[in-house]
Chains A and B, each alone.
Chain A
Amino acid sequence: MGSPIPVLKASNVQSDFLRNIDFKVSEGEIITLIGPSGAGKSSLLKLLNRLADPESGQIFFYNKNIKEYKIEQLRKRIGMVFQSSSLFEGTVEDNLKFGPSLFNEWKHEEGEKLLEIVKLPSDFLSKDVRELSGGEQQRVAFARTLANRPEVLLLDEVTSALDVKNVEVIEQFIKGIVSREVKAVLMVTHDIKQAKRLGDRTFFMCNREIVEQGDTRRLLTDPQSRRLQAFLKE
C-alpha cells in the first residue's frame, strides 16, 4: 500500500515574497509556521487558497493542482481566519451565514451548533457584532469560516491580539476540530510556546523560504540551522 495522499503539497513555489517552497501536509496534522516578521509566513498561507498566486511552482490539494479547482470552491474548502476578525456589519448570524449563503447551503439551526463549537451562547446569534469584545469577535470569525465546512484551516496569527483566556479557548478548539471538523490546520504564530502546544510539525521560515521543517518538539529543542538557533534565542 502506497503512502496516503497529502492534503496539501507545495513543489518549488516561488513568488515575490517566497522562494523554493516545498512541503507536504498530511491528514490530521497541525502545522505551525514560525519565523521573524517579513519571513513570508502570511504570504505562504495566501497562496494556499489563492488569495495570491505564485510566479512559478505548483501547489496541490489532494493531488490536484489548486488552479484546476473553481476558485470559490477551493476557498470554501480551504478556509482562512485572519489576525483581525474583519466581521461584516450586522448580526452574528449575518456573519455566520455569509459563506454558506453563497452556495445556498445555510440552515438557521447551523448557527447554534457553530457557536457551540467556539464556546459562545446561542443567544449571540441575534447580537450586533459591534457589541462583542475582541475575543468574542475572533471566535465568531472562526465560526464564520467553519460554517463553510472547510477541509483545511489556515490561521494567520489569530490569537496575537487576544487575552490569555481567549487564547486558551481558541487553542482548545483548534486541537478539538482537527480530524473531526477539518483535515489539517496551518497556523502562523509568533508565539514559540503556542507552536509547542499546538504544532505536530513546524515550518521555520526566514528570508522568504522554509529554512527548516520537522517534528515541532525536535525542531524547537534541537534546531539544526543557525538561523533557527538565533531566532529561538531572541
Chain B
Amino acid sequence: MAPEISNLSMFFLIFFVLIPVSLSYLYSLGLSGSILWSSFRGIVQLFLIGYILTYLFSLEPLTGITIMLTVMILVAAFHASKKGAGIPYVRPITLCIIVIIEIFVLAIWLGFQMISFQPDQVIPMSGMVLGNSMVAIGLALERMKSEFKEGEGKITAALALGAKPEQASKILVRKIVKASMIPNVDGLKTIGLVQLPGMMTGLILGGVAPIEAIRFQIVISLSIFASVSLSAMFVTIIFYRFFFNENQQMIKIEEN
C-alpha cells in the first residue's frame, strides 16, 4: 500500500520554503520573491500534471499515451532546439530526432516486454527518456556552436589540407559526442551508491520491493544512456553540414 501525505502534512512544507526565504532576507540576496513564486508555481504545475495524468490514465491506452507523448515530444523539441538558434531547420530536425529516439526506445521496451502498453508505465518512463534527450540535444547543439566557433582555425586548416566538411568536422564531433556522454557514464558508475535514483525511490515509496524496483531502474537508466548517446550522435552527424556551404567553405552561424 502506497503511503499517503495528508493536506495538513503538505501544509507544513512551508518550513522548507521559509528556510531559503529567510536566508535570502538575512543575506540581502533579493531572491525572496523568486523563491516564493517558483515554489508556488512548481506546486501548482505538479498538481495540474497530477490531475492531467489521472485523466489520461483513465482513457483508452492508445489515446492517453498518444496525447501525452505528443505534448511531451513537442515541448522537448521546442526547448532543445532553442539552444541551436541560428542553425537552419533546427526545430524540425530536433523534432525528428526526438521522435526517432522515442520510437526506438518504445519498440525495445514493448518488444521485449519490459513494460506494458499502459499509460501509467509508458508515460512516466517516456518522460524520463525524453527529458534527458532534450537536455542532451540542447547541450550538444550549444557545444557544437561553441566548438565550431573556437575550433574555426583547426577546421579551416583541415579544409586547407583537402578535407571534406565531414572529415574536417570529425576533429570536433568526437569531442562533442564524448562531452555529451560523460555525465551519463559517470552517473552510472555511482548509481545507487550516493543517492537512490528517483524512479527507484518512487517505486519503493509506492510499496514495490527494492529488488523489483531496481529492475525498473536498470531499464530506465540504460534507456536514458542509449537515448542520450543517440541524441548527441544524431545532432553531430546531422547538423555539422550547416556550418559549411556547397563549396566546402566554413560559414558563420548567426543567432537570430
Contact = CB atoms under 8 A, between A and B. Distances in A.
Interface of A: 49-53, 71-73, 75-76, 79-80, 82, 84, 86-89, 98-99, 102-103, 141, 144-145, 148
B247 A79 contact: no
Contacts of B160: 49, 51, 75, 79-80, 82, 145
B158 interface: yes
A89 B175 CA distance: 11
Contacts of B171: 88-89
Given A71-B248, A79-B161, A88-B171, 17 more contacts: A50-B247, A51-B156, A51-B159, A51-B250, A52-B249, A72-B162, A75-B160, A75-B162, A79-B160, A82-B153, A82-B157, A86-B154, A99-B163, A102-B161, A144-B161, A148-B161, A148-B162
B247 A145 contact: no
A76 B249 contact: no
A89 B171 CA distance: 8
Interface in B154-199: 154, 156-164, 167, 171
A51 B249 contact: yes
B88 to A, nearest CB: 20
5 contacts: A51-B156, A75-B161, A79-B161, A98-B161, A99-B163
A158 B161 CA distance: 16
Given A51-B159, A79-B160, A99-B161, A88 B247 contact: no
A21 to B, nearest CB: 18
A202 to B, nearest CB: 24
B159 A103 contact: no
Interface string B231-256: 00000000000000001111000000
A50 B167 CA distance: 17
A144 B154 CA distance: 13
A87 B158 CA distance: 9
Contact of B154 (A51, A79, A88, A102): A88
B92 to A, nearest CB: 29
Contacts of A144: 161
Interface string B93-123: 0000000000000000000000000000000
Nearest to B250: A51
Nearest to B245: A53
A102 B247 contact: no
Interface string B191-211: 000000000000000000000
A53 B247 contact: yes
B156 A82 contact: yes
A76 B161 contact: yes
Contacts of B159: 51, 75
B153 A102 contact: no
Interface string B130-168: 000000000000000000000001101111111110010
A117 B243 CA distance: 35
Task: Please name the 7 residue pairs, one residue from A and one from B, whose CB atoms are nearest each other, closest first.
Answer: A99-B161, A86-B153, A86-B157, A76-B162, A80-B160, A72-B162, A75-B162
Given A50-B249, A88-B171, A72 B153 contact: no
Nearest to B175: A89
B162 A103 contact: yes
**Which of the listed residues A52, A75, A103 has the most CB atoms from chain B within 10 Å of its own CB?**
A75
A99 B162 contact: yes
Contacts of A50: 247-249
